[in-house]
């Protein structure tokens, strides 16, 4: 049997890390999520209490710059492109030395060999499709066979004619034989079970027809598969013959092998440099991912600490509010009932007493006397008064003019009329 190995599939695209996304969206995080989604639905995060002590101040970590990361990656990609260009030049020299160009005999023979290999790969893919069809047909046949087995396990007779014959025999026995009541009930039950199995027998007959059709399809598909195997074996022989021709042509150019070996060493060295650059790029991505993870966990810790402080402050305020409300309630309970109404009554009684039961003039005289006594009590007696014996007097307006004037004559001052403000009275009515 020939080899059926298909060409290797290209590697999956690397997941892109978003600036706003958590570290689970990076390369390792995405791979871990793919593994865990089948088990737990999504990756579980480490509790932040295991990473930070929320009771102590948390130092803020700066977020790593995505632009700087992209610039470093772009610089490494530029170096890789330059090395690849140099490697392509070396590879071109190797191809020229080994005659791998299409305009040389070796190039033409190698091109013919590649065409044969491509044809073989196409045939292998066609064979896989045929085999997939065969597997589907096998699965359907196994399913029908299993259903038939399940149905037959509960039936005494699987043929419709045998069922009719047995029903007729039991009915004749019931009509012509004498039996007890329990035996007759059992006989009737058997007849009813046989009648119910008619439909199952018909379904079995129909499934048997489907199974025969599937078997015929399976034979046709198996024949196509065998024919495709023969085609693959035939083209494999052509590939072997073409490979021998190409090997003979390559052996004739063994004199140039020393130069080719030197170019191959140079090409391998360049490939090693490219691998080192890829490792450097992966290292940068790993470091950036770790820094992003640290920043993300730091943000989680700060947020959790703020939430904890908020909860504590909220609890403290609720306790203070509860204590304040309790104190107000106790003050309200300690107050005399109807305190406001009692104060209003006292005010009304005092007003009525002063208005209707007390002499206003006598009350005013009493207040004036109390004010005078209070004023005398506030006055402090002067001892050793330096102004004793002096007599106060008031100057006339003419004297002030003469004192401040310049001898130009006396000015007559017009007396200002004093206007008294009208007395304001408020009637109680």
- At 42, list the tokens: 């999504």
Task: Please tell me the distance from the alpha carbon of residue 301 to that of residue 380, in angstroms, as a whole number.
Answer: 74
Whole-number Cα distances in Å, 197 to 39, 149, 152, 170, 173: 46, 15, 10, 15, 20
39-53, 327-341, 415-429: range with highest mean pLDDT: 327-341
Evaluate if residue 305 carries a pLDDT over 60. yes
55-64, 68-77, 339-348, 396-405: the lowest-pLDDT one: 396-405
| pLDDT score at 158 | 64
Evaluate if residue 36 carries a pLDDT over 80. no
| pLDDT score at 110 | 83
Evaluate if residue 353 carries a pLDDT over 60. yes
The secondary structure of residue 156, as a DSSP letter, is S
Residues 6+ apart with CB under 8 A from 415: none
| pLDDT score at 325 | 94
Is the Cβ–Cβ distance between 278 and 270 less than 8 Å? Answer: no
Whole-number Cα distances in Å, 317 to 312, 322, 324, 327: 9, 8, 10, 15
Task: Please tell me the distance from the alpha carbon of residue 155 to that of residue 149, in angstroms, as a whole number.
Answer: 10
Evaluate if residue 28 carries a pLDDT over 60. no
Evaluate if residue 12 carries a pLDDT over 50. no
Burial 183-210 (b: 16+ CB within 10 A, else e): eeeebeeebeebeebeebbeebeebeee
Report the candidate in 370, 128, 98 with the shortest Cα–Cα distance to residue 247.
98
pLDDT, averaged across the chain: 76
In degrees, rounded to 5, the angle at the alpha carbon of residue 115 between the alpha carbons of residues 113 and 117 is 70
| pLDDT score at 427 | 53
pLDDT band at 314 (very low <50, low <70, confident <90, very high): very high
Instruction: Provide the whole-model pTM.
Output: 0.35
Decide which of 304 and 374 is more confident. Answer: 304
Decide which of 50 and 18 is more confident. Answer: 50
Residues 6+ apart with CB under 8 A from 98: 106, 250, 253, 256, 260
Residues 6+ apart with CB under 8 A from 213: none
Residues 6+ apart with CB under 8 A from 300: 45, 48
Q: What is the pLDDT of residues 258-296, one digit of tens each?
A: 677 788 888 999 999 999 999 999 999 999 999 999 999
- At 388, list the tokens: 């004793």
Decide which of 99 and 181 is more confident. Answer: 181
68-82, 100-114, 178-192, 314-328: the lowest-pLDDT one: 100-114
* Helix orientation angle between 160-176 and 181-252, rounded to the nearest 10 degrees: 170
For 360-376, the DSSP string reads HHHHHHHHHHHHHHHHH
- At 129, list the tokens: 């499709």
The sign of the CA dihedral 363, 369, 373, 378 is positive
Q: What is the pLDDT of residues 385-423, one digit of tens each?
A: 666 666 666 666 665 555 555 555 555 555 555 555 555
Would you put residue 389 in left (φ > 0), alpha (ψ -120 to 50) or beta?
left
| pLDDT score at 75 | 93
The predicted model gives 299-320 an average pLDDT of 93
pLDDT band at 324 (very low <50, low <70, confident <90, very high): very high
| pLDDT score at 278 | 93
The predicted model gives 60-81 an average pLDDT of 92
Evaluate if residue 78 carries a pLDDT over 90. yes
């Amino acid at each position: 049997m020939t080899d059926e190995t298909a060409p290797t599939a290209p590697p999956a695209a690397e997941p892109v890390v978003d600036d706003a996304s958590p570290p689970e969206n990076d390369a390792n995080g995405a791979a871990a999520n793919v593994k865990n989604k089948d088990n737990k639905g999504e990756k579980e995060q480490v509790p932040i209490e295991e990473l930070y002590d929320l009771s102590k101040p948390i130092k803020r970590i700066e977020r790593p710059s995505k632009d700087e990361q992209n610039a470093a990656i772009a610089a490494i990609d530029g170096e890789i492109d330059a090395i690849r260009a140099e490697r392509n030049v070396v590879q071109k020299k190797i191809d020229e030395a080994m005659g791998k160009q299409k305009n040389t005999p070796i190039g033409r023979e190698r091109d013919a060999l590649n065409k044969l290999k491509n044809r073989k790969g196409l045939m292998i893919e066609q064979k896989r499709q045929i085999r997939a069809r065969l597997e589907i047909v096998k699965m359907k046949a196994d399913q029908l066979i299993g259903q038939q087995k399940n149905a037959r396990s509960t039936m005494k007779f699987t043929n419709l004619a045998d069922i009719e014959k047995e029903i007729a025999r039991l009915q004749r026995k019931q009509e012509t034989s004498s039996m007890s009541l329990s035996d007759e009930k059992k006989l009737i039950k058997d007849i009813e079970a046989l009648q119910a199995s008619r439909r199952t027998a018909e379904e079995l007959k129909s499934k048997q027809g489907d199974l025969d059709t599937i078997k015929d399809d399976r034979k046709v598909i198996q024949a196509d598969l065998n024919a495709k195997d023969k085609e693959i074996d035939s083209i494999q022989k052509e590939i072997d013959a073409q490979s021998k021709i190409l090997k003979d042509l390559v052996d004739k150019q063994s004199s140039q092998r020393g130069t080719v070996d030197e170019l191959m060493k140079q090409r391998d060295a360049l490939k090693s440099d490219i691998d080192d650059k890829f490792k450097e790029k992966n290292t940068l991505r790993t470091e950036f991912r770790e820094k992003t993870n640290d920043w993300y966990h730091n943000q989680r810790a700060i947020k959790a600490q703020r939430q904890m402080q908020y909860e504590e402050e909220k609890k403290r305020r609720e306790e203070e509010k509860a204590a304040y409300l309790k104190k107000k309630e106790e003050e309200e309970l300690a107050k005399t009932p109807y305190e406001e109404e009692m104060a209003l009554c006292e005010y009304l009684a005092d007003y009525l007493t002063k208005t209707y039961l007390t002499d206003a003039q006598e009350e005013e005289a009493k207040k004036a006397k109390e004010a005078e006594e209070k004023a005398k009590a506030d006055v402090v007696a002067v001892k050793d008064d330096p102004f004793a014996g002096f007599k106060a007097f008031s100057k006339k307006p003419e004297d002030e003019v003469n004192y401040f004037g310049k001898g130009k004559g006396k000015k007559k001052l017009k007396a200002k009329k004093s206007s008294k403000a009208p007395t304001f009275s408020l009637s109680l009515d």
